Amino acid sequence: MHNSSYPHPILAREGWPFIAIAIILALLVLFSAGWLWSLPFWLLALFVIQFFRDPPRAIPQTPGVVVSPADGRVVAVEAAHDPYAKRDALKISVFMNVFNVHSNRSPVNGRITHLEYFPGRFFNADLDKASLENERNALVLQTDDGHVVTAVQVAGLVARRILCYVEPGQSLQRGQRYGFIRFGSRVDVYLPPESQPRVAIGDRVSATTTLLADLPSQA
């Protein structure tokens, strides 16, 4: 493994306004009403800071592996239909609660062949129906070996903003940061059906450092 170049600070830039507002609010209550009254606001500020933490991660260099695009808990490992690349696939889903890091990383080295946003509802992201009914953003990648890998950012019950910073035609490196989802969500990864999963339902995973699966040796 090696550490990727990481242009983002330890606290995600997406959270700077929220962190500033929370700290200013706590300070205002502190100076106007005292320490005791300000304590809940300091706890809120600490929650906001921990939510927007965004530590650098070591990137595995093993050929042919798929890394987790998000921190969280595996809620699905199953055969499925990939509606974005229109093919049969192995689907692995990672659910993020409000205490997980919420920046998203590319699961593989590849070129973006398709990128599409879908408006939708805001069911609990832990539910299976969230994959196709919630607001989501789908990223279809083609690896140098010709494999197709789809990563889908899915909004959750509390999440109301999916952020994606890449465009079709752009190449991504495994573990490269490409987006962020605010306040609880999930990421679905669709792989070639012959891929071999390395995780099971209930496993805790970390973005970039956890290996989700091995791609087929032949494309």
Q: Scanning the structure block, which residue is given the tokens 């700290």?
A: 23
> Which of 39-48, 98-107, 158-167, 209-218 is least confident?
158-167
pLDDT, position 169: 93
pLDDT-based confidence at residue 3 (cuts at 50, 70, 90) = very low
> Which of 80-89, 178-187, 206-215 is least confident?
178-187
What is the Cα–Cα distance from 14 to 136, expressed in whole angstroms?
18
Task: From the candidates 38, 106, 185, 195, give the one annotated as an active-site residue.
Answer: 185
Mean pLDDT, the chain, whole residue set: 87
Residue 195 among the catalytic residues: no
What is the pLDDT averaged over residues 57-73? 91
For residue 92, pLDDT beyond 60 = yes
pLDDT, position 55: 86
pLDDT, position 11: 84
Q: What is the DSSP letter of 123?
A: -
pLDDT, position 112: 96
Q: What is the CA radius of gyration of the chain?
A: 18
pLDDT, position 199: 96
> Which of 23-27, 119-123, 133-137, 193-197 is least confident?
119-123
> Which of 4-8, 100-104, 114-118 is least confident?
4-8
Q: Please write the tens of the pLDDT for every residue from 127-161.
A: 666 667 678 899 999 998 899 999 999 886 665 67
What is the pLDDT averaged over residues 86-104? 91
Q: List residues bridging with 82 in a β-sheet.
A: 87
- How many Å is the maximal CA-CA distance in the chain? 67
Q: Please write the tens of the pLDDT for every residue from 152-203.
A: 998 866 656 788 999 999 999 999 999 988 776 889 999 999 999 999 999 9
pLDDT-based confidence at residue 124 (cuts at 50, 70, 90) = low
What is the pLDDT averaged over residues 84-88? 95
Task: Tell me how many degrees the CA angle 41-43-48 measures, rounded to the nearest 5.
Answer: 95
Give which of 129, 196, 182 is closest to 153, Cα–Cα: 182
8 Å CB contact between 141 and 148: yes
Which uninterrupted H or E stretch holds 35? Answer: helix 35-51
8 Å CB contact between 55 and 77: no
Record the pTM. 0.85
